[in-house]
Structure 1
């Protein structure tokens, strides 16, 4: 079987500065380790998602694509490669176009979670700066773009405590990212992340992300500054030291969210716990797979192993498509 790892073109043209550079560097490192692992069992190549992707896939006689594309431009960018692959009947890892679109659009994620009875913070959406005046939610609030990931658009000042700060952060977000902007209830509490694999049937050990070692002037959130400059200060408790009820609650909520958004193969669910209640704050349908860095890497370190995680994703995909084990 020939597997092609497909990843994005550079995003620097569309996302200038440190965020774009950081994303490109992450992708490069991820492709390198994925190719090293997958090549142990399969014929593996890597390709760039550009206007020649269909021609190149056919030329290389690829049997399965390992999707490593968040997309570069467009409101539905994370769904672009899966949609193209479906059009040529090419099997690929991860969620379908709809699942990715729903998870990537945080507004629709929030609406679906609420309709499904899954705890998630209250929120309102802002399409223009004039709408900020109508926000009547209780401070502090949390501001984030509706369609970004990997902490892009989330900074230390994304926790806002008054109207002037709200105006400032919403203005910046509207100028830099696609509207709308989400204004969310800020859940004060401990933060956890859950890895869901095998098409929603298995949950990896829960991680608590401990921010207590950060410099005292930083907020305890996974902001771009923390991921970029202070990642070594984060403490990962694996498995999280939690009681059985909370563990079950978070596992069940994560699997329910996975199914509600019709995700496939693997995903990551982030939660915050306040007064014993677990709120889903983010769902990543294409979580990072950078060895030594990504949350999924730390989850698998003791119970599965990172290499086996990669092969479990491939095996899950092969099972969905009824592909032979060749």
Structure 2
């Protein structure tokens, strides 16, 4: 159950800080999100202070008399519960998910375990820990999951550190690369179908988007650098199938304890069945990002979107 939206006129009297940038591997995307959100909020009549958190002392939020925070930090430190816990300690309300929902959603391994435990569809997977990794680990993983797999650092976003492997040598190389980003790696059975994303705003699933890329998978280059990636909204599914997709996404969002707003990524397997990939609690928010695209399809402009996200924030998480 989602609480009522906060009063707009009251919020416009508050001092709002947009936190962005930071030190994660997703810093460059966060800088763009923060700039777009700041502009959108200012255009909507809010009093906004834009803060790059790289080298910033969070205690200064109290000195600056900040009443509320819009979190635009992607990846570690901003999407994993750390900044959320710090803001709760400072007793400053913030947008999006709380500490637990952020931490669980950021952790691909724990998310997959939750999906499995709650009966939600997700591809088979194995977990490889750097501490007990051995040269024959790859052979056992491929025997379990099939001849082609996707390798993902457990706690990175934007496809950073991800790779495809279809042989023992390729998997060992992919694992060694992924260990540069995380000590725990998720290895997922290969999914060959279409990829979709469903944005969540409050308790509503927005229109789904399908992503089509000439790359072998929807990687960092396809997301942020390619001019060839295509985004389709409407997503090409019939009404019943899109509603099924949205229902699964909402269940996944709730299962990890996510709140307020976010995005759920899914793919189809070779039989056309939807399989959950992950929940994103602070997805990209430039004017061309996926959440704003879905919101636009639902008749919600960018300024209205960032206002709604702010209205969904509160102190009820702590």
Q: Same fold, TM exceeding 0.5?
A: yes
CA distance 1:118–1:72, shift in 2 (3 Å) = closer
Name the SS of the counterpart of 2:262 in structure 1: strand
Write out aligned runs for 1:212-231 (5 A): 214=214, 218-219=215-216, 221-230=217-226
Are the counterparts in 2 of residues 6 and 68 from structure 1 also a CA contact under 8 Å? yes
* Unaligned stretches of 5+ residues in structure 1: 12-19, 322-326
2:68 equivalent to 1:82 = no
In 2, Cα distance between equivalents of 1:98 and 1:72: 14
Shift of the alpha carbon at 1:319? 8.9
Write out aligned runs for 1:185-196 (5 A): 185-196=189-200
Greater RCO (Cα-Cα under 8 Å, separation 6 or more) = 2
In 2, Cα distance between equivalents of 1:253 and 1:52: 39
2:3 equivalent to 1:7 = no
2:277 equivalent to 1:281 = yes
In 2, Cα distance between equivalents of 1:72 and 1:142: 21
The partner residue of 1:63 within 63, 67, 87 is: 67
Are the counterparts in 2 of residues 107 and 182 from structure 1 also a CA contact under 8 Å? yes
In 2, Cα distance between equivalents of 1:25 and 1:223: 16
RMSD, aligned α-carbons: 2.0
CA distance 1:99–1:72, shift in 2 (3 Å) = closer
**How many residues of Structure 1 are paired with residues of Structure 2 in the alignment?**
295
**Residue 294 of structure 2 corresponds to which residue in structure 1?**
299
Name the SS of the counterpart of 2:20 in structure 1: strand
Write out aligned runs for 1:14-25 (5 A): 20=25, 23-25=26-28
In 1, Cα distance between equivalents of 2:224 and 2:205: 28
In 1, Cα distance between equivalents of 2:209 and 2:75: 28
Write out aligned runs for 1:236-247 (5 A): 236-247=231-242
CA distance 1:164–1:71, shift in 2 (3 Å) = closer
The partner residue of 2:149 within 135, 141, 145 is: 141
Shift of the alpha carbon at 1:263? 0.7
Compute the TM-score of the two structures, normalised by the length of structure 1: 0.85
**Residue 207 of structure 1 corresponds to which residue in structure 2?**
209
Cα deviation per residue 1:255-313 (whole Å; 9 max; x = unaligned)?
A: 11111111111111111113231111121111110112x11121122321111111110
The partner residue of 1:104 within 96, 103, 106 is: 106
Name the SS of the counterpart of 1:78 in structure 2: coil
CA distance 1:80–1:160, shift in 2 (3 Å) = same
Shift of the alpha carbon at 1:71? 5.7
Are the counterparts in 2 of residues 71 and 81 from structure 1 also a CA contact under 8 Å? no
* Unaligned stretches of 5+ residues in structure 2: 1-13
